[in-house]
């Protein structure tokens, strides 16, 4: 069950349904025959990036001298901001500029798929229970696979569901992610407080 619950959390953070309009906008000027190849490539780049942060996150924290409590609080804030954007999207959407040509790594792989929220979440999971890395990796692969399937079907889903339904789904997922973000923020503050108390 832990794999599926963690995969659900990661799916909310990766937000493939909410990324459908952005993907369609970015790929609008690219020939339709290249869409599938581009999405698969960008998904693989994003997966490699997320796995890198999963296993090397603790070394990054050590180099930056960042505590687990600080990471938890920061991760909660980032997720909360992402959730707010999902619930209250801006009038211009994700991008404020026109994107021409075939995208490479930015913005599809990073930050749309492998964004700061996903990176912080994986680092926090690994920091809390590093011995449970097979579960975290399995959850990441499952969430990545689900996200990949949804994004490969982006054009069909966009036509089938319509813009209003996609917005409604994204806002619902944003509400769920808000509760997760608040819980993560509270846990991070508690850990930071405990560390401060023990240091006295």
Measured between alpha carbons, how far apart are the two ends of the chain, in Å?
39
Residue 149, burial from CB neighbour count under 10 angstroms (0-12, 13-18, 19+): exposed
Per-residue pLDDT for 50 more than 80?
yes
Rounded (10°) CA dihedral 5, 56, 16, 93: 130
Contact predicate 14/150, CB 8 Å: no
Calpha distance 99→172 (Å, rounded): 28
User: Which range marks the domain in which residue 190 is found?
Assistant: 2-199
pLDDT for residue 11:
93
**Secondary structure of 43-64 in the HEC alphabet?**
HHHHHHHHHHHHHHHHHHHHHH
Which position has the token pair 């009038």?
91
At 3-39, the pLDDT tens digits run 999 999 999 889 898 788 778 878 888 888 999 999 9
State the pTM of this model: 0.79
Average pLDDT over residues 187-200: 82
The DSSP symbol for 29 reads G
Q: What is the pLDDT of residues 75-107, one digit of tens each?
A: 788 878 878 887 887 665 544 445 567 888 988
Total of domains in the chain: 1
């Amino acid at each position: 069950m832990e794999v599926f619950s963690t995969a659900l959390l990661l799916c909310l953070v990766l937000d493939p349904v909410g990324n459908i309009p952005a993907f369609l906008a970015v790929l609008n000027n690219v020939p339709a025959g290249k869409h599938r190849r581009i999405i698969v490539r960008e998904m693989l780049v994003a997966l490699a990036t997320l796995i890198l942060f999963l296993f090397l996150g603790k070394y990054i924290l050590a180099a930056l001298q960042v505590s687990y409590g600080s990471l938890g609080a920061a991760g909660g804030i980032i997720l909360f901001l992402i959730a707010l954007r999902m619930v209250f999207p801006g009038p211009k959407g994700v991008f404020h500029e026109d994107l021409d040509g075939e995208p490479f790594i930015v913005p599809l792989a990073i930050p749309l798929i492998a964004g700061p929220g996903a990176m912080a979440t994986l680092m926090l999971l690994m920091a809390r229970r590093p011995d449970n890395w097979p579960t975290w990796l399995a959850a990441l692969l499952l969430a990545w696979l689900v996200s990949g399937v949804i994004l490969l079907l982006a054009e069909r889903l966009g036509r089938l569901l319509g813009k209003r339904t996609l917005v409604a789904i994204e806002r619902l997922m944003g509400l769920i992610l808000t509760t997760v973000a608040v819980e993560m923020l509270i846990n991070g503050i508690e850990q930071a407080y405990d560390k401060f108390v023990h240091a006295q």
